[in-house]
Amino acid sequence: MTDTYDAIVVGGGSVGVPSAYALARRGLKVLVLDRRPAVGQGDNKAAIGGVRATHSDPAKILLCTRTLEAVSTWKETHGDDIGWKPGGYCFPAYSEAVENTLRGLLPKQRTYGLVNDYVDANAIAELVPGIVRDGLRGGTYSPNDGQVSPLLLPVVLMRHAIRMGAELRVDERVTGYDIQGGAIRAVVTDKGRYEAPIVVLATGSDAAEHGKLLGVDIPVTPDSHEAGITAPVEHFLGPLVVDLRPGPEGKTVNFYFGQNHEGQIIFCYTPKELFVGTNRESQSEFLPILAARMISLVPRLKHLLVRRVWRGCYPMTPDGVPIVSNVESIRGLTLAVGMCGQGFMLGIGVGDEVASLALDGKYLLPKEASDTLRFERDFHAGKKEALK
Ligand SMILES: Cc1cc2nc3c(=O)[nH]c(=O)nc-3n(C[C@H](O)[C@H](O)[C@H](O)COP(=O)(O)OP(=O)(O)OC[C@H]3O[C@@H](n4cnc5c(N)ncnc54)[C@H](O)[C@@H]3O)c2cc1C
């Protein structure tokens, strides 16, 4: 027997769950399938939980603004704790080059309604207590950005979707798709076959493999990044801090950290040599390099006790911008893949876009923003995103 749904979301991660939530809100009978044992167990749980509208790409700015509107009011509106911590993002500048980059992004960000500003060194020192003052020129601060728990958000959103009638099947691997007459008909798994006229592909780092099953080339290549978290300390740090300088050790492009809603310091760096692939094993060099960078920026952090480190993937596209799009050659298929290093913060904004694309065949975003998300674009045409 085949079960029939209005829509099937393949992948219950950072974008699949919000997509299911948005489709269920539009009254559809939705099925979410994931090969892992619960929602949010893919690269979603590798995220450090930063949610910022501070980007250079208009689509990312607008999608993350939508996410921020939802997460910053979630508790008052729905009553659940999703680990929301306001406090913004802070990008300190220690060189003219970084200052120019940061100042250069502000006009476009303001066009899209962001209230980000370049502030002086005293303001940065107040935002980041203990930051080294020597050479500090100032920096940008975006007060409306914040942090959310990647462990809580997908569970909460999925629970709401289930209340609206959605179904979740975990430990179930999608192995094929049934396409007839140029339209998607069904999804085949290792346990069954499910029919629906709408299928949303939200399989993160595995997107290219699903492209092969669907007969389309989906240019998503994962690279892996490491992160870590400390034991909690008293709250002292409001913003998530991004140091855009390359590290003196020659191995890091930038690094970033913040204090989450539980008081833990959570941190990451971008390696100079990318680790292409899905290897998720931690490396011995990560912590010594990261610790040295963090202590040289904020010496008081030397007392922190690191609790654990982990590695996860950024599902990258060639131009650093996601693919949120219907597919001309397969009716009923909507792609929500290639989220790069921002799938968690994009999730809710992308979910609304997916529902509109799948049901109404059009973007909610203005054309100049949505064009960058299309599947049928030249992935090598434009400039790469400045704030990846
Ligand atoms: C160290 C690190 C820090 C990060 N920090 C942030 C951050 O602060 N903010 C932010 O926004 N982003 C951050 N990211 C990026 C973010 O984690 C990813 O962009 C995001 O999780 C991708 O979302 P996704 O839904 O595409 O993939 P996932 O969350 O991985 O979801 C894809 C799902 O598809 C399922 N799946 C795949 N194939 C199949 C199949 N055949 N059958 C059934 N199910 C299948 C998987 O099991 C998985 O659950 C970070 C990433 C890393 C590695």
Each residue's pLDDT, cut to its tens digit, for the chain (388 residues) gives 569 999 999 999 999 999 999 999 999 999 999 999 999 999 999 999 999 999 999 999 999 999 999 999 999 999 999 999 999 999 999 999 999 999 999 999 999 999 999 999 999 999 999 999 999 999 999 999 999 999 999 999 999 999 999 999 999 999 999 999 999 999 999 999 999 999 999 999 999 999 999 999 999 999 999 999 999 999 999 999 999 999 999 999 999 999 999 999 999 999 999 999 999 998 899 999 999 999 999 999 999 999 999 999 999 999 999 999 999 999 999 999 999 999 999 999 999 999 999 999 999 999 999 999 999 999 988 655 555 5
Cβ 339 under 6 angstroms from ligand 1: yes
End-to-end C-alpha distance for the chain, whole angstroms: 45
CA 95: distance to chain centroid? 28
Between the CA of 138 and the centroid of ligand 1 the distance, in Å, is 33
What CA–CA distances, in Å, run from 53 to 89, 160, 206, 210, 346? 10, 25, 26, 30, 9
| Residue having the nearest C-alpha atom to atom 8 of ligand 1 | 50
Nearest to 97 by CA among 388, 342, 386: 386
Between the CA of 223 and the centroid of ligand 1 the distance, in Å, is 12
Nearest to 53 by CA among 376, 333, 369, 277: 369
**Which tokens in the block code for residue 224?**
């892996």
Q: Could you identify the atom of ligand 1 that is nearest to the CA of residue 50?
A: 8
Cβ 55 under 6 angstroms from ligand 1: no
Q: Could you identify the atom of ligand 1 that is nearest to the CA of residue 312?
A: 53
**Rounded to two decimals, what is the model's pTM?**
0.96
Cβ 14 under 6 angstroms from ligand 1: yes
Q: Could you identify the atom of ligand 1 that is nearest to the CA of residue 147?
A: 8
* 47 close to 26: Cβ distance less than 8 angstroms: no
Residue 212: per-residue pLDDT: 98
Between the CA of 300 and the centroid of ligand 1 the distance, in Å, is 33
Residue 366: per-residue pLDDT: 97
| Residue having the nearest C-alpha atom to atom 12 of ligand 1 | 342
C-alpha 291/C-alpha 48 separation (Å) is 17
Between the CA of 131 and the centroid of ligand 1 the distance, in Å, is 32
Residue 381: per-residue pLDDT: 83
Cβ 67 under 6 angstroms from ligand 1: no
Residue 384: per-residue pLDDT: 57
Between the CA of 343 and the centroid of ligand 1 the distance, in Å, is 7
